[in-house]
Structure 1
Amino acid sequence: MAVKVLNLQQRGALRSFLDECRALRNIRHRNLLKIKTACSSIDHQGNDFKCLVFEFMTNGNLHYWLHPEKYDQQHQTKKLTFIHRLNIAIDVASALDYLHNYCQTPIVHCDLKPSNILLDEDMSARVGDFGLATFLSDTSSNSWSHQISAALKGSIGYIPTEYGSGVQASTRGDVYSYGIVLLELFICRRPTDPMFHENLDIHKYVSMALPAHVMEIMDPILLLAEEEKNMNKPDQLATRMKEYLLSILEIGLTCSASSPRERMPINTVLSKLQAIKKSFLSEYELDDK
């Protein structure tokens, strides 16, 4: 099991604990991190102590697979293949689809990023950390534009652009964060990479590269892993892989569009990614794990 101990000296920590407990209390989905129990007590110094106990994810979080530290030998010796990444993208989209469309009261995660995506022993993804999650009111369940919180929620690089101008959290904001994660998952560049600046962000970088230079911006480890698995048909691989990657990055670009109205609903994203996976597996006859 994994234990998350809250630093109650940090501003908003208690509210975060209560929000996370509320969000996790009634949700059940295979791609959401499962909570075992919560603890609220007093420590040996007489201070408030609060923690959450979750299932342990043996493969850590997605961030450390995409950006391993030099000393992290475990992740340096393993490669995220195309199908690994596609499965992760589908798992996360499935989790968001559940939160947005299948909970009694729709939930906005508000902090989707690679470090909040955990991987189990089979490399299946679980979305965790609901400390910023917010519930939409019952009257807003069919409205993406409903505004629910005045606070700027999220992490730098993954925060929807409209939040910075005062627009409040919505499911469209989660879709934006998902789009950024999807781009990062395949090109392996953080949205906060030093190469990005005021006039060039990850969305524009990918958009400028498509379609002609798509293979040039891909994570080299992804391409190497696929070459090793398909050495007997390199030409066919290059052509078809380019088509699959183009389709995925175009989804990422649509999700991370600056205008909320242009973003693809998460259930549509899920359907498109599942179709890509079905086509890929039928063509290459690969095991899906």
Structure 2
Amino acid sequence: MSNGSLESWLHPDTDDQVEHKYLNLHQRVAILLDVAYALDYIAMAQHPLHIVIHPKSSNVLLDSNMVAHVDDFGLARILVEDGSFYKHSTSSMVLRGTIGYAAPEYGAGNMVSTNGDIYSYGILILETVSGKRPTDGGLRQGFSRREYVEQGLLDKVTDIADMQLSSDLENELRSGNDSSYKRRVDCLVSLFRLGISCSQELPSSRTPTRDIIKELHTIKESLNGIM
């Protein structure tokens, strides 16, 4: 894809001074919505092969129009239907997910699932809005990325947002556009909360894909009103 991966935009190579990569809040929401549609398609598809895509920023590729596509199916989990039960393919037994993105139940040896992908997607939301990898340091001792964000929402959301997004908000505030500033902050809070709800420890507590899409559309419409 001509615009590379989401990872390259969120975490550009500091040695590369040729191009300054920047994603505004509108673009990040649009990308997350594209990925949510892919996740929902896989979750709802009635195929003999049940594919689990394990979303992460390096698997999200951006075309010339900045439309997101989920790729790297070398890391896909394929459950092969065999009579009345499912068995893991060889690839799914060997690889259960990337550190930081993998659902906690995978560590207990549970079968990979769409709920596990929703967990990974929740971590992807938090990464996209905070600009921090799930394995980045700098967290309070013993805190996961999700717990760190939960605490940040109790304090000041701009302190846990990507520096580029925080800078945009500061510019809004300096320009005296209080209404636009408040709406953008509300959208950030909604995104962080969605990431938290998707990455709950219990699979049954995670937000279903259709509800994820509905929430992202609400956020997108709110942002469109202040473009």
Choose from 258, 261, 273 the match for 2:204: 261
Deviation at 1:90, TM superposition (A): 0.2
Which sits farther off after the overlay, 168-177 or 236-245?
Answer: 236-245
Q: 1:210 is matched by which residue type in structure 2?
A: L
Aligned to 2:128: 185
Tell me how far apart the structure 1 counterparts of residues 59 and 32 of structure 2 sit (CA, whole Å). 13
Q: Which runs of 5+ in 2 are unaligned?
A: none
CA contact (8 A) 1:150 1:166 kept: no
> How far 1:133 sits from its partner (Å)?
1.8
Per-residue deviation at 1:123?
A: 1.1
The 1-side partners of 2:7 and 2:142 are apart by 25
After superposition, the Cα gap between the structure-2 partners of 1:229 and 1:71, relative to the gap in structure 1 and judged at 3 Å, is: farther
What's the CA shift for 1:165?
1.1
Whether the aligned pair in 2 keeps the contact of 1:92 and 1:125 (CA below 8 Å) is: yes
| 1:91 pairs with 2:34 | yes
- Measured after TM superposition, the shift of residue 265 of structure 1 is 1.0
Q: Deviations over 1:76-96 (max 9, x none)?
A: x23210001000100000111
Deviations 1:47-90 (A, max 9, x none): xxxxxxxxxx1111111111111122355x23210001000100
Distance in structure 2 (CA, Å) of the matches to 1:126 and 1:208: 32
Among candidates 64, 68, 73, match of residue 12 of structure 2: 68
CA contact (8 A) 1:81 1:226 kept: no
Count of matched residue pairs = 221
Is 1:99–1:107's contact at 8 Å kept on the other side of the alignment? yes
Higher relative contact order (CA 8 A, sep 6+): 2
Q: TM-score, normalised by structure 1?
A: 0.70
How far apart in 2 are the matches of 1:138 and 1:233? 59
1:203-242 counterparts in 2 under 5 A?
Answer: 203-225=146-168, 232-242=175-185
Q: CA deviation at 1:107?
A: 1.7
SS of residue matched to 2:69: strand
In the alignment, the residues of structure 1 paired with residue 108 and residue 9 of structure 2 have an alpha-carbon distance, to the nearest angstrom, of: 33
1:232-285 deviation per Cα after TM superposition (whole angstroms, max 9, x unaligned): 55322321111111111111001111111110111210111012111221x21x
SS at match of 1:218: coil
More helix by share: 2
Question: Does residue 250 of the first structure (1) align with residue 193 of the second (2)?
Answer: yes
Identity %: 39
Q: Which residue of 2 aligns with 1:108?
A: 52
Change (3 A) 1:81 1:227: farther
Alpha-carbon displacement from aligned partner over 1:169-196 (angstroms, at most 9, x marks no partner): 0000000000001000000111111224
Residues 214, 246 of structure 1: 8 Å contact kept: yes
1:39 maps to which residue? none
